[in-house]
Amino acid sequence: MHGDLNLIFSRVWSVCLLLVWICLGTRIIGVVGSHQGSIPLHVVKLWASAFGGEIKSISAKYSGSQLLQKKYKEFEQAVRVQEIDGLRLVKKLAENMEEMFHKKSEAMKRLVEAAEEAHLQHEEDPDLQYEYFNAVLINEIDEEGNSVELGGDFLLQPNDHFNNLSVNLSLSVVQVPTNMYNKDSAIVNGVYWSEALNKVFVDNFERDPSLIWQYFGSAKGFFRQYPGIKWRPDEHGVIAFDCRNRKWYIQAATSPKDVVILVDVSGSMKGLRLTIARQTVSSILDTLGDDDFFNVIAVSHACVFHFRMNLDKLFAKGIGMLDVGLTEAFEVLYDFNQTGRGSACSQAIMLVTDGAVDTYDAVFAKYNWPDRKVRIFPYLIGRESAFADNLKWMACANKGYFTQISTLADVQENVMEYLHVLSRPKVIDQEHDTVWTEAYVDSTLEDGQGPILMTTVAMPVFSTKNETRNRGILLGVVGTDVPVSELLKTIPKYKLGIHGYAFAITNNGYILTHPDLRPLYEENKKRRKPNYSSVDLSEVEWEDKDDIVSHFYYHYISGNGIELNVLKLLNFLIFMSLEYLSVLGLHDLEHPDVQLADEWTYCNTDEHPEHRYLSQIDAIKLYLSGREPHLKCDKELIQEVLFDAVVTAPLEAYWTNLVLNKSENSDKGVEIAYLGTRTGLSRINLFVVPDQDFLTAEDKEGVFNADHFPLWYKRAAEQVPGTFVYSLPFNTGNDNKSVVLASTAIQLLDERESPIAAAVGIQMKLEFFQRKFWTASRQVNTHTLGCNHSSTRNGIHMMKGFRVSLEKYVFISTKQSLVFSLLSTPKPLPPLSIAQRGGRTMLVPCDTEYPAFISERTIKETTGNIDCEGCIKSFVIQQIPSSNLFMVVVDNKCDCSAAGPITMEPIEIMYILFTESLKCERLKFQKDRRRPDSCHPFHPEENSMECGGALGLYPSLTTTLLCLMLALFPR
C-alpha cells in the first residue's frame, strides 16, 4: 500500500486495541517466537473473560445501550426500511450539484453581459481622468490629514459571511499590480466602464447570499473585486498579485494547449540575458494549467537537449542550432498529436533567444505551412535589436506574436501577450465557455480548521464591437469563488451511509473534493502542502488487487469537466409519518442535551438573508409550522431526525437517574455518556466534570462532519452487534492519553444484517479502565504463573518491540482494519522527504509505505516466542470477549530491552531512478484524463497580422513574397 500518508491517513482507523499485561519484570519491551508451554492458556482465557465481562457491564450500564436498543425495537412495526439504489442516488446527487453549478454560472453570465454592454457603449478616451477606489489606497491619509489620491473614505464593516472581514457590500474596489501605473490611460478607461459591474455584483449577492467574492480580471491587468475590501502590501511594500497569472483567468481565456519552449543557451546567453531568459521560461510555465502539455528544449551550436533535468542545470549546459531545435519542437508537437498525449487543441512554440541569423522559413514550409496550426512566439532577450526583424517575421508568418524583453521588469507583461493571441479564436467564436478550476486554498477566509478549500467558476468577457471583431479582443475574465463546502452541501451525508462517501474529480483526475484530501499540514493549519491542488485520485484511494470490497457509482457532470463519484456500502432510509412525529419529535428535539450536525443541511438557511441567523433546530420548527414557504428543507432528513429524537429521548431520564445515584459511580471513573444517530443527532450527558472535553468541534474526526460520520461511530458499526469498541479519542496527543472511549452500535432490527440506526458509548478515565483490568485479573488464580503482582503496575503498556510478533502471528487477514496499541497514536508524516541541494534543505515528493496489523476475529488466541540472545521468552495473545481488545501475557525469563523498537511509522519507498528527480519518475507515467469538451485553436476570420509591431526590412524577396502569400491565404 503506497501513497501520501497525510492524504490517506484518515482512512485508516483501528478496530483492534492491544491490552498488554506484563507478568514479571518492568523492563520488557517486546517478544516474538513460538509458544513453549510456560504460560497456561486456560488461565489467560479466564483473565480475558473476567475483564471482558466486567468492562462490558460497565459500558452497557452507563451508555444505556440496552435501553436504546429496546426503544428502537418498539418502533420496528412502524418503520419501513429500504436499501438505496446506488445508481439512482449518484444521479440525483449529481443533479443537485449540477443545479448549484448552474446557479453560479448564471451569476457569471449576468456579469459577462453587463461588462460587454458597458464596453460596447464606451468610447476610449486617452485623456480620461477618473477617480476610483484603489484597494490599497482606500482610507489612507496623507501627512496633512487628507485622503490620498485614489483613496477616499470607503465604508468597511465586519461581516460574518466573509469570515468577519471588514467589507463594503455596496461597492467594489480595484487592485492594480505594483509594477503598473495605476493612472495609466488604458487602466483608467477600463476601470471607468467596468464600474457598471457594481450593481450586478450586488444583485447577484441578493439573489444568491451563498456567493462570496465576485470579480473581474481585466486583460489590461487591473482586478475589480466585490465586496470591496482593503488590500495590504507585504513586508516589502509590494502586492505581487496579477489576475492574469491566475489559473481561473488563463483557463477561461484560452483553450487547452501544447507548448514547446525552445531556449537558446548558446555562448552569448549569459549574465543578465541568461537571468532574463530563465525568468521568461519560468513565467511561461506559470501560465500553464492542468489541461496543458509542454516540453522544454535547450539549443546551442552543439546539439539539442530535452528537458530531462531541473531548470538550473538545463541553462548551465549548452548543447543544436536553431533550425534543428525548431525541427525537434515540431516533431514533439506532432508526437503529442499522434500518441494522444497532448491537448488535441492549440499548439505553440515559444522561442526564447537573444538573436536569430535566419528566418528558418524552410523549416516552417516543411512542418507548418500552409495551415499554420502551430503558432510561433519569439521572445528576444536583451536590448539589441539587430535580429528583431527575423524574429518578427517568424511570428507574423505563423500566427504568433513577437516581443522584446530588455529587463526583468518586462518579463511578466510580455509573456502575457501570447495568451491574448491564443484567445482570439474563442473571442471571434463568441464562445463563453464556463470553466471550473481545481481546488485551492483561500488564505483570506478560514473556518475552525484554518484556510478553506475553494474552487472558482470563471467566464471570459469579449469585445463585441464590430470594428474589432476580427482582432478577437479579450476584455478579461469574470469569476466567483465557491467553497468546496458548498459542493458538499449538495451531497447529504445521511444518504451515503456510515462508510459511504462521495468525491468529485476534475477531467484530469485531480480531486476537487474528497474526505481524505488534506491540503494543509496538520502541525500548522495555515501551511499549505506543495501541489495540494493537483492530488490524483490514486493518491487517496487504496488500491485493491485481490477482490472487490466496495462499489463505486459515478456520474459525469456535463459542461464542467467534473465527475461525481459515490462509494456505497450499506445504506437505508426509514419511512415514518411526518405528521405523526412533528409535535412529539419537536419537543424532544429541543432538549438541551440534543445537538444536530453543524455541517449538515436540514434546512437551507443561506438561500435568503432573513434565514441566515436561524439555527437548524429553529429552521426545522419554522418549516414545520408552514409559515415560511420560501424556506427549503430536506423533508426526508427532518422526518428521520424527528424519529431519532423520539426514540432516544428516554435516555435523558436514564442518564439523569444514574447521576443522582452517586454510589453507582463513586470513584467518578465514568465521565460522559454520548450517543449519535445516522441523522446527525447527538446527545451528551456529563456524569462528572471531565478532565478532558469530549469531542469538541476542533476534533474533526470525532464529530459529525459534512463528509464523514464520527470515528467512534464508524468503529462501533464495524463490530459484531452487542460488542463494544474501546479506543482513544483520535486527536489525543502523546502527552495526554487520560481517557478511553467505549462505543457500541444500535441496530434498527433484530437481524444480524440489520441497518445501524445509532451508536452509544461512554468516556472513562484511563486509570479507571486500568484498575478494572487489574481487579478482574486478580479474581483468577495466578499461582501457576508465579506472578508478582506488585511488579505488574506498568498495566497497559505500549510494547514497542512486540509489534514484530504481531506482524508474524496476527497479520493473517488482508481485508480487515488495522490493529494499533492502546497507548499509541500513529503520527502522519509529511508528504515530502527532505533532501539537500547546494546547502539548502528542500522538500521532494515521495511515496511512503507502512505496516498494517490485522485482526481476524475467528482466531481467538495465538502464541509465540522470541529468542533474546539465546534466551527464549514466550507470550500468549487472547481475544477479550465482547470487545475489540486482545490480552497479551508475556513471561519474564529474558531481558529483551536491547532489542530496538519496531514502530508503525511509514518508511519512504526508494525507487531505482534513471533520472535525477523522483518527481520525474512519478510524472512520467501518464494517467487517464478526459480532454475538455471545448476547443478553439484558430478561426478563419482571425487577423493574424497583429503580431508584435510593424515589420522591418526582410532578409530576401522570397521570404517577403511568401509572407504576403500566407497573409492572403491564412489557411
CB 256 within 8 Å of CB 346: yes
Per-residue pLDDT band for 911 (boundaries 50, 70, 90) equals low
DSSP class of residue 290 equals T
Per-residue pLDDT band for 379 (boundaries 50, 70, 90) equals very high
| Cell matching residue 178 | 505594483
C-beta atoms surrounding 226 within 10 Å: 27
Per-residue pLDDT band for 784 (boundaries 50, 70, 90) equals very low
Q: Quote the CA–CA distance of 695 and 703 in Å, as a whole number.
A: 6
Which pLDDT score is estimated for 845? 59
Considering the chain, what percentage of its residues have pLDDT values greater than 90?
Answer: 36
Which pLDDT score is estimated for 31? 31
The amino acid that residue 267 corresponds to is G
Cell 485531480, located at residue: 510
- CA 388, distance to chain mean position in Å, is 46
Which pLDDT score is estimated for 262? 94
399 burial via Cβ count (<10 Å: 0-12, 13-18, 19+): buried
Per-residue pLDDT band for 958 (boundaries 50, 70, 90) equals very low
Which pLDDT score is estimated for 887? 84
pLDDT tens for 227-273 read 999 999 888 878 888 999 898 999 999 999 999 999 998 888 888 99
Which one is predicted more confidently, 824 or 516?
516
- Nearest to residue 459, comparing CAs of 429, 433, 496, 423? 433
Range of 75-84, 85-94, 148-157 with top mean pLDDT? 148-157
Query: What are the C-alpha distances in Å from 97 to residues 478, 485, 617, 706, 831?
Result: 21, 12, 25, 15, 31
pLDDT at 752 over 70: no
Which pLDDT score is estimated for 697? 56
Range of 392-396, 690-694, 950-954 with top mean pLDDT? 392-396
Partner residues linked to 191 by β-bridges: none
The amino acid that residue 11 corresponds to is R
Name, in order, each residue with C-beta under 8 angstroms of 863's C-beta and a sequence gap of 6 or more.
34, 35, 39, 41, 809, 874, 875, 876, 877
Cell 468525491, located at residue: 503
- Nearest to residue 801, comparing CAs of 8, 20, 53? 20
Name, in order, each residue with C-beta under 8 angstroms of 596's C-beta and a sequence gap of 6 or more.
602, 616, 617, 641, 680, 681, 682
Q: What's the rounded mean pLDDT across residues 610-629?
A: 88
C-beta atoms surrounding 117 within 10 Å: 13
Which pLDDT score is estimated for 853? 65
Q: What's the rounded mean pLDDT across residues 890-919?
A: 68
pLDDT tens for 677-716 read 999 999 999 998 877 666 665 677 788 888 889 999 999 9
Which one is predicted more confidently, 911 or 738?
738
The residue length of the chain stands at 971
Cell 451508555, located at residue: 63
Q: What's the rounded mean pLDDT across residues 850-865?
A: 77
Q: Quote the CA–CA distance of 403 and 12 in Å, as a whole number.
A: 54
pLDDT tens for 593-608 read 899 998 899 998 887 8
Q: Quote the CA–CA distance of 878 and 881 in Å, as a whole number.
A: 9
Preceding amide of 370 cis, omega within 30: yes
Q: Is 621 strand, coil or helix?
A: helix
CB 952 within 8 Å of CB 388: yes
Per-residue pLDDT band for 82 (boundaries 50, 70, 90) equals confident
| Cell matching residue 545 | 488487487
Q: What's the rounded mean pLDDT across residues 194-203?
A: 97
pLDDT at 802 over 60: no
Three-state secondary structure of 329-394: HHHHHHHHHHHCCCCCCEEEEEEEECCCCCCCHHHHHHHCCCCCCEEEEEEEECCCCCCHHHHHHH
Per-residue pLDDT band for 154 (boundaries 50, 70, 90) equals very high
| Cell matching residue 388 | 528583431
Q: Quote the CA–CA distance of 60 and 658 in Å, as a whole number.
A: 13
Which one is predicted more confidently, 474 or 933?
474
pLDDT tens for 533-576 read 888 887 787 655 555 556 778 888 876 677 777 665 445 555 55
Three-state secondary structure of 487-541: HHHCCCHHHCCCCCEEEEEECCCEEEECCCCCCECCCCCCCECCCHHHCEHHHCC
Helix (H) or strand (E) holding 304: strand 304-306
Which pLDDT score is estimated for 215? 97
Q: Quote the CA–CA distance of 101 and 106 in Å, as a whole number.
A: 9
User: Of the ranges 107-111, 283-287, 652-656, 662-666, which one carries the lowest mean pLDDT score?
Assistant: 662-666
Question: How far from each other are the two terminal CA atoms of the chain, in whole angstroms?
Answer: 53
Per-residue pLDDT band for 285 (boundaries 50, 70, 90) equals very high
pLDDT tens for 496-532 read 888 888 888 888 888 888 888 888 776 656 677 777 7
Q: Quote the CA–CA distance of 948 and 492 in Å, as a whole number.
A: 54
Per-residue pLDDT band for 921 (boundaries 50, 70, 90) equals low
Buried b (16+ CB within 10 A) or exposed e, 461-479: bbbeeeeebbbbbbbbbbb
Q: Are strands 861-868 and 293-299 parallel, antiparallel or unpaired?
A: unpaired
DSSP class of residue 828 equals P
Which pLDDT score is estimated for 76? 77
Name, in order, each residue with C-beta under 8 angstroms of 437's C-beta and a sequence gap of 6 or more.
247, 248, 251, 455, 456, 458
Name, in order, each residue with C-beta under 8 angstroms of 284's C-beta and a sequence gap of 6 or more.
259, 261, 350, 415, 418
Q: Quote the CA–CA distance of 476 and 107 in Å, as a whole number.
A: 16
Q: What's the rounded mean pLDDT across residues 183-199?
A: 97
Q: What's the rounded mean pLDDT across residues 398-426?
A: 93
- CA 904, distance to chain mean position in Å, is 25
Which one is predicted more confidently, 753 or 786?
753
Q: What's the rounded mean pLDDT across residues 157-164?
A: 89
User: Of the ranges 411-415, 616-620, 637-641, 872-876, which one carries the lowest mean pLDDT score?
Assistant: 872-876
Which pLDDT score is estimated for 248? 92
- Nearest to residue 875, comparing CAs of 888, 858, 860, 893? 888
pLDDT tens for 44-67 read 888 899 999 999 999 999 999 999
Which pLDDT score is estimated for 426? 92
CB 461 within 8 Å of CB 472: no
Q: What's the rounded mean pLDDT across residues 145-164?
A: 90
| Cell matching residue 30 | 517486546
CB 334 within 8 Å of CB 317: no
CB 349 within 8 Å of CB 329: yes
Q: What's the rounded mean pLDDT across residues 912-921?
A: 53
CB 471 within 8 Å of CB 943: yes
Which pLDDT score is estimated for 810? 26
- CA 21, distance to chain mean position in Å, is 42
CB 452 within 8 Å of CB 446: yes
The amino acid that residue 375 corresponds to is R
| Cell matching residue 652 | 435523558
Q: What angle do CA 550, 551, 553 make, to 5 degrees?
A: 150
User: Of the ranges 30-34, 393-397, 808-812, 958-962, which one carries the lowest mean pLDDT score?
Assistant: 808-812
CB 537 within 8 Å of CB 505: yes
Which pLDDT score is estimated for 17? 40
pLDDT tens for 294-316 read 999 988 755 555 554 455 555 55
Which pLDDT score is estimated for 733? 44
Per-residue pLDDT band for 186 (boundaries 50, 70, 90) equals very high
pLDDT at 369 over 50: yes
Which pLDDT score is estimated for 34? 37
Q: Quote the CA–CA distance of 352 and 298 in Å, as a whole number.
A: 10
Q: What's the rounded mean pLDDT across residues 860-887?
A: 85
| Cell matching residue 737 | 492519553
Which pLDDT score is estimated for 668? 81
C-beta atoms surrounding 378 within 10 Å: 27
Which pLDDT score is estimated for 925? 60
Mean of pLDDT over the chain: 78
pLDDT tens for 312-361 read 555 555 544 788 889 999 999 998 888 878 888 999 999 999 988 888 99
